[in-house]
Structure 1
Amino acid sequence: MSYPHLSDTAISKLELSDQERIQHIKKPRWIGYTRAREILGKLEELLTHPVQPRMPNMLIVGETNNGKTMLVEKFREKHPASENPTGEAVKIPVLYIQAPPGPDERGIYNAILTRLFEGNPRSESTDAKRDRVVAVLRRVSLGLVMIDELHHLMAGAYVKQRNCLNVLKYLGNELRVPIVGIGTAEAVRAIQTDPQLANRFTPEVLNKWTRNAEFARLMSSFERVLPLREPSQLSKSPLADRILDMSSGTIGEMSTLLNMAAIHAIKAGEERITVSMLERCGYVPPTQRKQVAATL
């Protein structure tokens, strides 16, 4: 049989059992789209940027569950650390850390040292810890630093917030590598409170999706990777409109919704996603979750 609505990989999965297909659908996947590819290209430019006293930085901004994490993972996969057996230290082109849950200077240094498998003695002073972080990072052929959940650094007293922003400036100045922050709109507002950082960090926004040609292409991309035997025509009304409405316009919610609907379609033996399938698959839209939370 011919399955023109599917990619070659998805077609090969049709030979699996229903349970194996369901397990395949549950696995994380990368769906490329124009804005994500633009940001990935700019990250590549940062990674190879000539060294200068003030390196350019980036702030990847978007709502929760709107593709920031998958984009960052895609970039990191392309630039893994290498053992560098002939050198004095491993090579780490991209150092990724998560910001501590609150504005804590020591927490930032600890996150870096933990990622590098370095010890964190409690008795070590903050100054000594900072110097050790810089010394270690200078040995590993560092290309850039990525700090996820950057908005966490703003959740606390003003003085601590300023200290954390100063840490970003210090690391950028000392290491002369780009810093990429990842976070919500709160991260942008925080960076804007410091004129020096505001001039260095370029915001790259992942906006919510709207009903346009790019969204139609995204839906077609999803349809190509979901191993269902019958075409669903996700890019056309009324399916596309309902998907956008239920997901509140974020790609992470769309992925969850379509995965659940595809799994339900396999279990029901229908082999395609319909509006009815979207309603019956057990997905709870973000708006309903908020309404439930408000009643508790």
Structure 2
Amino acid sequence: MALTQLGLAHELNDRQVHPDAHGRIPVLYITVPPAATARMIAAEFARFLGLPVHRRLNTSDIIEAVVGVCTSARTGLVIVDEVHNISLSTRQGAEVSDTLKYFSERIPATFIYAGIDIEHSSILSGTRGSQIAGRFTLIPTHPFPYNDEWKGLVKTMEDTLLLHHHKPGTLADLDRYLHDRTGGMIGALSHQIRGAAIDAILTGTEKITRDGLEGIPLDVTATTQAPRPRRART
């Protein structure tokens, strides 16, 4: 969820900087499927851009089409999620790594790889792994502390809501509650707000309230991260 929020923030910023520009695709996001091949990765890029993927097209054809669109559409951020599905110990995994490397060399954009336990996976081992390690900075993710950055995150998410009866600032006023509830996990925060927004649409209230947030189940990570209620002293 953090990645999608990052992509959204980048796209919103791009629209503010270039309000009159048309045909821009600021962000490209794909997920690496299990047992992926080089063609599957190229096809994921193409599908995000709405490009056709015919059987008669070889991998090089798809890659060239993707590079052409990304270049003309001024794509500035490419997010590749679930990279832990890439195993450099297999031929297919090595070819996937090479394909992503080729994309990063051809598309003038910032590339972000995300996955689980990457520092201990094969994606950073061997010759190819050392090339990846030399091109990227490893940023471990941790729960957000309750600070101005967290408050800004809640406000940013609230600003993207399109609910007719939602009062701006409602979630900002609940930022401490949301932090306690989610344990500072951005994925859990996104899940809470999105779930409450969907319920608000389905019920017709068109607004998010604390009661509405209470009705959204927490994910497992948030349950383990969230602080336990303090016992009252007597």
Question: Between Structure 1 and Structure 2, how many residues are aligned?
Answer: 201
Q: Structure 2 regions of 5+ residues with no counterpart?
A: 225-234
- Percent identity (aligned): 17
User: What amino acid maps onto 1:200 in structure 2?
Assistant: R
RMSD value, Cα: 4.6
Structure 1 segment 203-214 matched on structure 2, within 5 A = 203-204=138-139, 207-214=142-149
Distance 2:171 2:62 in 1: 57
Q: Higher relative contact order by CA 8 Å / sep ≥ 6: 1 or 2?
A: 1
**Which of 1 and 2 has greater Rg?**
1
| Deviation of 1:197 (Å) | 1.3
Are positions 1:98 and 2:38 aligned together? no
Select 1:285's aligned residue among 204, 207, 218.
218
Cα-to-partner distance string for 1:246-283 (whole Å, 9 max, x where unaligned): 313223423554674996xxx99xx974xxx488x322
Separation in structure 1 between the aligned mates of residue 142 and residue 44 of structure 2, nearest angstrom: 29
Asked if the contact 2:28–2:78 (Cα under 8 Å) also holds between the matched residues in 1, the reply is yes
1:198 is matched with: 133
The change in CA–CA distance for 1:246 and 1:130 in structure 2 (over 3 A counts) is same
**Aligned twin of 2:78:** 146
Residues 260 and 161 of structure 1, relative CA distance in 2, 3 Å threshold? same
Q: How far apart, in 2, do the equivalents of 1:222 and 1:172 lie? A: 29
**Quick one: structure 1 residues 203 and 287, their matched pair in 2 at CA, closer, same or farther if it must change by over 3 Å?**
same
Q: Is the aligned partner of 1:129 residue 2:59?
A: yes
User: Could you state the TM-score of these two structures normalised by the residue count of structure 2?
Assistant: 0.60
Work out which of the residue numbers 172, 183, 193 in structure 2 matches 1:248: 183
Contact kept in structure 2, 1:209 and 1:215, CA below 8 Å: yes
Residues 222 and 95 (structure 1 numbering): CA distance in 2 closer, same or farther, change over 3 Å? closer
Q: CA deviation at 1:106?
A: 0.7
Equivalent AA in structure 1 for residue 217 of structure 2: V
When normalised by structure 1's length, the TM-score is: 0.50
Q: CA deviation at 1:179?
A: 4.8
CA distance in 2, matches of 1:178, 1:223: 28
Q: CA deviation at 1:163?
A: 1.6
Alignment-derived partner of residue 181 in structure 1: 112
Encode CA deviations 1:219-268: one digit per residue, 9 max, x unaligned: 67778985189999535xxxx2x5334313223423554674996xxx99
Q: 1:227/1:255 Cα in 2 relative to 1: closer, same or farther (>3 Å)?
A: farther
1:76 Cα offset (Å): 3.2
Match in the other structure for 2:167: 227
1:166 aligns with 2:106: no
Task: Map 1:8-87 onto structure 2 (within 5 A).
Answer: 65=1, 67-77=2-12, 78=14, 82=22
